[in-house]
Structure 1
Amino acid sequence: MEDFHGDQARGKQDPRLKPFGCTYMRTTGIWQPVWLESCGDAWIDRFQVFPDVKSKGFQLYTYVKGRINGLKLRLKVFLAEAELINLTQEVKENPLRILAELPEVCLWSPEEPDLYTIELSIEKNGVILDDVKGYFGLRSVSIVDGKIALNDKPIYLKFALDQGFFPDGLYAAPNIEALRRDVEAVKKLGLNGVRKHQKPEDPRYFYWCDKLGVLVWEEMPDWGMSLEYKNLNSFWNEVEAVIIRDFNHPSIIAWVPFNERETVSRNIEHRKFVEEICLRIKRLDPTRLLVDNSGYIHVGPTDIIDIHDYSGWKGYKHFKDVLLKRVQSLKTGEPKEFRITVEDFEYNGQPIVLSEWGGWGIKGFRPIVDREVYVYGPSVADECEFLTRYRGNIKAIRECEFLAGFCYTQLYDVEGELNGYMTYDRKWKVDPEQIAKIHKTIGF
Structure 2
Amino acid sequence: MKIKDVVKTFMLSKKKIPYNQLYTKWGEELDADHILEEYPRPQLKRDNYTILNGYWDYCITRKKEKPVKFDGKILVPFSPESILSGVVREVTPKDYLWYERNLSIDKIPAGKRCILHFGAVDQYCEVFINNNKARRHTGGYLPFSVDITKYITEGNNKITVRVIDLTDTSYHSRGKQVLARGGMFYTAQSGIWQTVWMEWVPEQYIKSIRITPSLDDSCIQLEIFMNHWDKKTQENDIRVSIYEDQKLIQSIKDFGTSFIIPVKEPKLWSPENPFLYDMVITAGEDKVESYFAMRKFEVKQDEEGIPRLYLNNKAYFHNGILDQGYWPDGLYTAPSDEALIYDIQKTKELGFNMLRKHIKIEPLRWYYHCDRLGIIVWQDMVNGGGKYNMIWCGYLPTIFPKLVTKVKDNCYYLFARANKKGRKEWCYECKKTVALLYNCPSIAVWVTFNEGWGQFDAAKAVELIRCMDKTRLIDQASGWFDQKGGDFNSVHNYFRKLDVILENRAAVLSEFAGYVCYVPRHSYSQNIYGYKIYVNKEQLNDDVQKLYNIEIKKLIKKGLSAAVYTQLSDVEDEVNGILTYDRKVCKITKVDVPQLTE
Same fold (TM over 0.5): yes
| 1:154 maps to which of 287, 305, 315 | 315
CA contact (8 A) 1:190 1:440 kept: no
- 2:531 is matched with 376
| 2:177 maps to which of 13, 17, 38 | 13
CA deviation vs aligned residue, 1:215-262 (integer Å, no higher than 9, x gap): 000112204553233322211221112211111111000111210007
CA contact (8 A) 1:12 1:223 kept: no
Give the 5 Å matches for 1:208-223: 208-223=369-384
| 1:100 maps to which of 257, 261, 275 | 261
- 2:296 is matched with 140
CA deviation vs aligned residue, 1:138-185 (integer Å, no higher than 9, x gap): 111111201111111110010011110011110011111100001001
Per the TM alignment, residue 363 of structure 1 is displaced from its structure 2 partner at its CA by 4.8
Q: Which AA in structure 2 matches 1:282?
A: R
Please give the secondary structure, in 2, of the residue aligned with 1:279. helix
Per the TM alignment, residue 441 of structure 1 is displaced from its structure 2 partner at its CA by 8.6
More strand by share: 2
- Take 1:142 and 1:191, find their aligned partners in 2: how far apart are those partners? 20
- 1:344 is matched with none
CA contact (8 A) 1:367 1:418 kept: no
Per the TM alignment, residue 375 of structure 1 is displaced from its structure 2 partner at its CA by 1.3
| 2:452 maps to which of 261, 282, 295 | 261
- 2:587 is matched with 430
- 2:224 is matched with 62
1:31 aligns with 2:185: no
Q: Which AA in structure 1 matches 2:425?
A: S
| 2:483 maps to which of 299, 315, 324 | 299
CA deviation vs aligned residue, 1:403-439 (integer Å, no higher than 9, x gap): 112110011101110011110011233243xx33x33
Please give the secondary structure, in 2, of the residue aligned with 1:109. coil
Per the TM alignment, residue 206 of structure 1 is displaced from its structure 2 partner at its CA by 0.7
Please give the secondary structure, in 2, of the residue aligned with 1:257. strand
**What TM-score, normalized by structure 2, do the two folds share?**
0.63
Please give the secondary structure, in 1, of the residue aligned with 2:573. coil
- 1:230 is matched with 421
- 1:196 is matched with 357
Per the TM alignment, residue 370 of structure 1 is displaced from its structure 2 partner at its CA by 4.1
CA RMSD of aligned residues (A): 2.2
CA contact (8 A) 2:540 2:588 kept: no
Please give the secondary structure, in 2, of the residue aligned with 1:199. coil
- 1:319 is matched with 497
Please give the secondary structure, in 1, of the residue aligned with 2:186. coil
CA deviation vs aligned residue, 1:67-118 (integer Å, no higher than 9, x gap): 4223211000001100011110013xxxx21011113410101110000001
- Take 1:64 and 1:295, find their aligned partners in 2: how far apart are those partners? 40
1:205 aligns with 2:389: no
| 1:247 maps to which of 419, 438, 450 | 438
Larger Rg: 2
Q: In the comparison of the two structures, how many residue pairs are matched?
A: 393
CA contact (8 A) 1:74 1:86 kept: yes
1:174 aligns with 2:319: no
Please give the secondary structure, in 2, of the residue aligned with 1:37. strand
Q: Which AA in structure 1 matches 2:565?
A: Y
Per the TM alignment, residue 309 of structure 1 is displaced from its structure 2 partner at its CA by 0.6
Q: Which AA in structure 1 matches 2:197?
A: W
Q: Which AA in structure 1 matches 2:423?
A: L
Cα gap change, 1:442 to 1:155, in 2 (>3 Å): closer
Q: Which AA in structure 2 matches 1:156?
A: F
- Take 1:439 and 1:300, find their aligned partners in 2: how far apart are those partners? 29
- Take 1:257 and 1:410, find their aligned partners in 2: how far apart are those partners? 19
- Take 2:453 and 2:189, find their aligned partners in 1: how far apart are those partners? 26
- Take 1:67 and 1:159, find their aligned partners in 2: how far apart are those partners? 43
Per the TM alignment, residue 300 of structure 1 is displaced from its structure 2 partner at its CA by 3.1
CA deviation vs aligned residue, 1:304-352 (integer Å, no higher than 9, x gap): 12111112xxxxxx624xx25xx2xxx6xxxxxxxxxxxxxxx5x1111
1:113 aligns with 2:274: yes
Per the TM alignment, residue 443 of structure 1 is displaced from its structure 2 partner at its CA by 7.9
Per the TM alignment, residue 387 of structure 1 is displaced from its structure 2 partner at its CA by 2.5
